[in-house]
Amino acid sequence: MTLHTTLRAAEEIGVNPRHAVLMRLKYLNAEIQELEGEIRYCEYLKRKNSKWLRQSGEVFGILYRQELEPLKSEQQSLLDFLNGKFRPKAGAEITDAMIERARNYPIAALIGQKPKGASQVVCCPFHTDKGPSASVKHNVLKCFAGCRPKKDGRKGWDPILYLMEKEGKSFREAVLALQ
């Protein structure tokens, strides 16, 4: 979920936007605390004598950190809103900082899949897959199976392009949705 999504949902159901953001932040803080506890436990396992426990701690630590990253990013956006550093307005100008924040939004959170393995593979969301046929590297989704290169020669999607193509949003809508 993003700040823009939280604000839009608050508007739709008639809740004070600040209250909605505070409630989302409360939920996120609990999730973040739980994941950080799991990461601490993984660090503890990595210090054990058993090779299996050390490897388990390493693998699960990586997975928990991948889950934690988008939550911390969303938490920061919500805190920025509450502290008055960011105020989305319907007619507001899109700034370079907003575009950069949107491009840095974790694409794995958008596609709803956690990349697996060293090559960070996922099932491509743009065509029917039986197995993983896309990879996520440097926050860019690239399909290496059924998707053809675009007219501009690009072969992948950053978070903004993903929302534009998958959900039919304009550039402006996609940037605002990823705040």
pLDDT tens for each residue of 66-93: 889 889 988 988 898 888 776 555 555 7
Residue 31 pLDDT class (50, 70, 90 cuts)? very high
Residues 33-37: contacts with CB under 8 Å, at least 24 apart: 35/64, 35/67, 35/68, 35/71, 36/68
The confidence score (pLDDT) of residue 77 equals 86
CA pair distance 3, 21, nearest whole angstrom: 8
Q: What share of the chain has pLDDT > 90, as a percent?
A: 19
Mean model confidence pLDDT for the chain: 84
Sign of CA dihedral 113, 116, 119, 124: negative
Closest to 74 (Cα-Cα) out of 96, 102, 37:
102
Whole-prediction pTM value? 0.51
Q: Which residues contact 23 (CB under 8 A, 6 or more apart)?
A: none
Contacts of the segment 129-137: beta carbons below 8 A, 24+ positions apart? 136/107, 136/108
138 contacts: CB under 8 Å, gap ≥ 6: none
